[in-house]
């Protein structure tokens, strides 16, 4: 039997450029796909809150004609992941049972599950998504796991291509301060996807904030943010907590906030952020609301990216 296909990371897609083109083409002809997957069913499970991912993925499925049910698993619903455990504590269901049962009712399953940010090895094993993919008999969509956010990255590449077409670009991923410890998933994933496009990629952050080497191997690292911004075409800003001193906030240095003065160093770059964003902590209102900010186009593209992914998985 063929292995079940899933949408887990950039590695789930053979030709990234062609897939981005396909998603943009679907966006242009969006209504022609309406109802084409009538009769299919999708279960979405959220172990963490979401605005964009929840609405865009559910509406995308519904526009395609799919019946959707979203479940919140944010409180009091704990699943066992480990094999062979005596389940006499607080976890009432094993993930392999849940995955196989949900597969009986659904044609596709979508899961959001953030990292705990305490145990790096456990987080980077990405057990919730990996176990779902292992035990489900239908395709699984990653709606942001401990280490990847591929629906966001597909959206990001669509937005960049819409702005610049086939032009080769200098793309900068910049760390910015944040009062809470945040996951590395958006940044990891963005680097994984953008590094398959042929653009020049620079990552800039304070020295203590290196990302996992697997994601930065093909990037230039620049610890001086202003030098990194020089001649950039794309500024993608995101906070992440430390990878090496795992899950910790080591700096809230406000001098890393993105502002108009720094954007003026660029080649009239577009400004990107996945949202939600802390205004005037991560980035100033002046940049967020400027005519080079593409944050709402980026968020809007989540709908079309989700449609492309669901359509791809259910038509394989
Ligand atoms: N960008 C993103 O995934 O937003 P949500 O957390 O609101 O889904």
**Rounded Cα gap, residues 279 and 301, in angstroms:** 21
pLDDT in the model for residue 63:
98
Q: Answer whether 194's CB lies under 8 Å from 186's CB.
A: no
CA of 88 to the centre of ligand 1 (A): 35
Mutate to test the pocket of ligand 1, among 144, 183, 184 (most ligand atoms within 8 A of CB): 144
Q: State the closest ligand 1 atom to the C-alpha of 274, by its place in the atom list counted from 1.
A: 1
CA of 52 to the centre of ligand 1 (A): 5
| Equal CATH topology for 3-149+302-313 and 152-299 | yes
Q: Which residues of the chain have pLDDT under 50?
A: 1
CA of 46 to the centre of ligand 1 (A): 11
Query: Strands of 140-142's sheet, edge to edge?
Result: 67-72, 41-46, 108-112, 140-142
Thinking of the domain 152-299, which architecture would CATH place it in? 3-Layer(aba) Sandwich (3.40)
pLDDT in the model for residue 1:
45
3-state secondary structure 19-75: HHHHHHHHHHCHHHHCCCCCCCEEEEEECCCCCHHHHHHHHHHHHCCCEEEEEECCC
pLDDT in tens, 264-274: 999 999 999 99
Q: State the closest ligand 1 atom to the C-alpha of 299, by its place in the atom list counted from 1.
A: 1
Mutate to test the pocket of ligand 1, among 49, 50, 110, 297 (most ligand atoms within 8 A of CB): 50
CA of 84 to the centre of ligand 1 (A): 34
pLDDT in the model for residue 2:
55
Q: Answer whether 65's CB lies under 8 Å from 100's CB.
A: no
CATH top-level class for 3-149+302-313?
A: alpha beta
Mutate to test the pocket of ligand 1, among 48, 49, 51, 278 (most ligand atoms within 8 A of CB): 51
pTM over 0.95: yes
Pick the residue whose CA is nearest to atom 6 on ligand 1. Answer: 50
Ligand 1 neighbours (beta carbon < 6 A): 50-53, 144, 152, 274-276
Q: Positive or negative CA dihedral for 121, 153, 43, 51?
A: positive
Q: State the closest ligand 1 atom to the C-alpha of 112, by its place in the atom list counted from 1.
A: 8
CA of 281 to the centre of ligand 1 (A): 18
How do the domains of the chain map onto residue ranges?
3-149+302-313, 152-299
CA of 274 to the centre of ligand 1 (A): 7
Helix (H, G, I), strand (E, B) or coil at 121: helix
CA of 154 to the centre of ligand 1 (A): 13
CA of 143 to the centre of ligand 1 (A): 9
pLDDT in tens, 90-117: 999 999 999 999 999 999 999 999 999 9
Per the listing, tokens 């954007």 go with 263
Pick the residue whose CA is nearest to atom 7 on ligand 1. Answer: 51
Q: Answer whether 50's CB lies under 8 Å from 143's CB.
A: yes
Pick the residue whose CA is nearest to atom 4 on ligand 1. Answer: 52
Q: State the closest ligand 1 atom to the C-alpha of 54, by its place in the atom list counted from 1.
A: 8
**Rounded Cα gap, residues 290 and 260, in angstroms:** 9
CA of 190 to the centre of ligand 1 (A): 14
């Amino acid at each position: 039997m063929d292995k079940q296909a899933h949408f887990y990371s950039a590695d789930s897609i053979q030709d990234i450029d062609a897939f981005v083109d396909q998603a943009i083409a679907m966006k242009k002809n969006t209504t022609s796909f309406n109802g084409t997957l009538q009769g299919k069913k999708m279960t979405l499970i959220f172990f963490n809150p979401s605005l964009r991912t929840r609405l865009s993925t559910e509406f995308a499925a519904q526009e395609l004609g799919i019946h959707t049910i979203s479940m919140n698993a944010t409180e009091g619903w704990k699943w066992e992941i480990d094999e062979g455990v005596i389940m006499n504590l607080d976890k009432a269901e094993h993930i392999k049972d849940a995955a196989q049962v949900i597969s009986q009712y659904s044609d596709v399953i979508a899961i959001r599950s953030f990292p705990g940010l305490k145990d790096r090895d456990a987080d980077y094993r990405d057990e919730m998504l990996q176990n779902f993919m292992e035990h489900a008999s239908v395709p699984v969509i990653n709606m942001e796991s401990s280490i990847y956010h591929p629906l966001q990255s597909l959206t990001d590449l669509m937005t960049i291509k819409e702005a610049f077409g086939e032009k080769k670009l200098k793309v900068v991923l910049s760390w910015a301060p944040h009062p809470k410890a945040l996951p590395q998933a958006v940044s990891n994933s963005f680097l994984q996807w953008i590094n398959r496009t042929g653009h020049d990629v620079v990552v800039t952050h304070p020295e203590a904030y290196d990302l996992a080497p697997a994601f930065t191997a093909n990037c230039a690292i620049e610890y001086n943010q202003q030098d990194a911004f020089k001649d950039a075409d794309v500024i993608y800003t995101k906070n992440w907590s430390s990878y090496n001193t795992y899950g910790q906030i080591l700096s809230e240095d406000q001098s890393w906030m993105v502002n108009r003065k720094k954007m003026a160093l660029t080649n009239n770059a577009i400004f990107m952020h996945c949202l939600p964003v802390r205004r005037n902590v991560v980035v100033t209102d002046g940049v967020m609301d400027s005519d080079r900010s593409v944050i709402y186009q980026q968020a809007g593209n989540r709908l079309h990216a989700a449609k492309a992914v669901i359509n791809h998985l259910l038509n394989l």
